[in-house]
Chains A and B, each alone.
Chain A
Amino acid sequence: MWKRNTSYNMTIREKITAWEPAAEWSAEGDGMLTVPVETFHDLAVRLKREGFDFLRSLTGMDWGEGRFGAVYHIESTATGENIVLRVFTPAPDKCGLPSVGDVWKGALLNEREAYDYFGIQFLNHPDMRRLYLRDDWVGHPLRKDYDPALNPLRMNNEVSQDSTPHFELMPDGSLIRKREVIFDEGEYVINVGPQHPATHGVLRFRVSLEGEIIRKLDVHCGYIHRGIEKMCESLTYPQTLALTDRLDYLGASQNRHALCMCIEKGLGLEVSRRVQYIRTIMDELQRIDSHLLFFSCLCMDMGALTAFFYGFRDREKVLDILEQTTGGRLIQNYNVIGGVQADIHPDFVRRVKEFIAYMRPTLREYHEIFTGNVIARQRLVGTGVLTREDAISFGATGGTGRASGWACDVRKRHPYAMYGEVDFDEVLFTEGDCYARYMVRMREIEQSLRIIEQLIDNIPEGEYRTKTKPVIRIPEGTYYSAVEGSRGEFGVFIESRGDKSPYRMKFRSTGLPLVSCLETIARGAKIADLIAIGGTLDYVVPDIDR
Chain B
Amino acid sequence: MFDFSIVTQAIHTALLSIMPEGLAIFLECVVVGVCLLLMYTVIAIVMIFMERKVCAAFQCRLGPVRVGPWGTLQVICDVFKMLTKEIITIRHADRFLYNLAPYIVILASVLAFSCLPINRGMEVLDFNVGVFFTMAASSIGVVGILLAGWSSNNKYSLIGAMRSGAQMISYELSIGLSILTIVVLTDTMQLSEIVERQADGWFIFKGHIPAIIAFIIYLIAGNAEVNRGPFDLPEAESELTAGYHTEYSGMHFGLFYVAEFVNLFIIAGLAATIFLGGWMPLHIPGLDAFNTVMDYIPGFVWFFAKAFFVVWLLMWIKWTFPRLRVDQILTLEWKYLVPIGLANLLLMVIVVVFKLHF
Contact = CB atoms under 8 A, between A and B. Distances in A.
Interface in A174-220: 188, 190, 196-198, 209, 212
B58 A526 contact: no
Interface stretch (B279-287, B292-300, B323-331): B323-331
A304 B236 CA distance: 11
A301 interface: yes
B321 A373 contact: yes
B150 interface: no
Given A303-B229, A309-B60, A379 B241 contact: no
A1 interface: no
Interface in B26-72: 55, 58-61
Interface in A229-279: none
A306 B155 CA distance: 29
B60 A379 contact: no
A530 B326 CA distance: 13
A266 to B, nearest CB: 44
A127 interface: no
Interface in A365-387: 369-370, 373, 375-376, 378-379
A139 B74 CA distance: 53
A198 B320 contact: no
Q: Is the interface of B mostly helix, strand, loop or mixed?
A: loop
B117 interface: no
A190 B155 contact: yes
A526 B60 contact: no
Contacts, number: 80
Contacts of B323: 302-304, 375, 528
Interface of B: 55, 58-61, 155-156, 159, 229-230, 232-233, 236-239, 241, 319-328
Contacts of B60: 309-310, 313
Contact of B326 (A212, A308, A309, A369): A212
B242 to A, nearest CB: 9
A188 B239 CA distance: 16
B55 to A, nearest CB: 8
Given A306-B58, A310-B60, A313-B60, A531 B324 contact: no
Interface string A345-373: 00000000000000000000000011001
Contact of B156 (A190, A369, A370): A190
Contacts of A78: none
Contacts of B325: 378-379, 526, 528-529
Contacts of A196: 241
Interface string A511-534: 000000000000000111111000
Contact of A528 (B155, B236, B319, B320): B236
Contacts of B233: 528
Interface centre among B155, B230, B236, B238 (most CB of A within 10 A): B238
Given A188-B155, A212-B159, A526-B327, A304 B238 contact: no
Contacts of A301: 238
A252 to B, nearest CB: 26
Given A188-B155, A212-B159, A313-B60, A370 B239 contact: no
27 contacts: A188-B155, A197-B238, A198-B238, A209-B159, A212-B159, A212-B326, A302-B323, A303-B230, A303-B232, A303-B322, A304-B322, A305-B55, A306-B59, A307-B322, A308-B59, A309-B61, A370-B322, A373-B321, A375-B230, A375-B321, A378-B328, A379-B324, A379-B328, A526-B326, A527-B159, A528-B233, A529-B325
Contacts of B156: 190
Interface of A: 188, 190, 196-198, 209, 212, 299-310, 313, 369-370, 373, 375-376, 378-379, 526-531
A303 B328 CA distance: 14
Contacts of A306: 55, 58-59, 319-320
Contact of A309 (B59, B236, B241): B59
Contacts of B229: 303
A190 B328 CA distance: 23
Complex A-B, nearest 3 residue pairs according to Cβ-Cβ distance, in ascending order? A303-B323, A302-B322, A309-B59
A369 B230 CA distance: 14
A219 B328 CA distance: 28
Contact of B239 (A309, A376, A378, A527): A527
Nearest to A199: B238
Nearest to B320: A306
A354 to B, nearest CB: 19
Given A303-B230, A303-B238, A375 B322 contact: yes
A303 B327 contact: no
A299 B241 contact: no
Given A303-B229, A370-B322, A528 B239 contact: yes
A376 B238 contact: no
A212 B156 CA distance: 11
Nearest to B56: A309
A310 B320 CA distance: 11
Contacts of B320: 304, 306, 369
Contact of B322 (A190, A299, A313): A299
Interface centre among B58, B232, B323 (most CB of A within 10 A): B323
A197 B241 contact: yes
Interface centre among B58, B319, B324, B325 (most CB of A within 10 A): B325
